[in-house]
Amino acid sequence: MYNKENIFYRILKSEIPAKIIYENDVALSFYDIRPLKKIHVLVITKGLYSNFGDFVANASIQEVKDFWATVSKVADLLEVSRTGYRIVSNNGPDSGQEVEHFHVHILGGEKL
Ligand code: 5GP
């Protein structure tokens, strides 16, 4: 069950600012406010999914494909696809998921 009381929903609605890198019909990408690596970027769905399982179960095949293609495109824009990067998605309490809106972290810009 998706709960609109989360910070990424407010970023999607432009209620709070974010340093946006790229946007299309299915996804929005912006810099993480507390970077853990030289490059730390988030890609969030425009659809309202609380986590990875919710996304895979309820998004259309086209949306799933377009979302992951967007993650790859953002890695290209950041030029980490040349140097290497890690993608991470935290899901549920044991992972430490802080924001209950499905998102992927792109980490890179240095040796991980
Ligand atoms: P999670 O643990 O849910 O996978 O990660 C959520 C991420 O969102 C964290 O890395 C955190 O730093 C980032 N974050 C939390 N609030 C904000 C915000 O208001 N703006 C931005 N840009 N990032 C945020």
pLDDT digits (tens, 9 = 90+) for 7-37: 999 999 999 999 999 999 999 999 999 999 9
Q: Which two tokens stand for residue 1?
A: 């069950």
Domains, the chain, in order of start with CATH, read 7-108 (3.30.428.10)
Residue with tokens 């998706």: 2
pLDDT digits (tens, 9 = 90+) for 55-89: 999 999 999 999 999 999 999 999 999 999 999 99
- The answer to whether residue 101 is catalytic is no
What is the model's pTM?
A: 0.97
Cα 69 from Cα 94, distance rounded (Å): 28
Paired strand residues for 28:
23, 44
| Residue 33 CA to ligand 1 centre (angstroms) | 6
> What pLDDT does 7 receive?
98
> What pLDDT does 36 receive?
97
| Helix, strand, coil percent content, the chain, rounded in steps of 5 | 35, 25, 45
- Residue 13 beta carbon below 6 angstroms from any ligand 1 atom: no
What is the mean pLDDT of the segment spanning 42-46? Answer: 98
Q: Whose CA is nearest to atom 19 of ligand 1?
A: 7
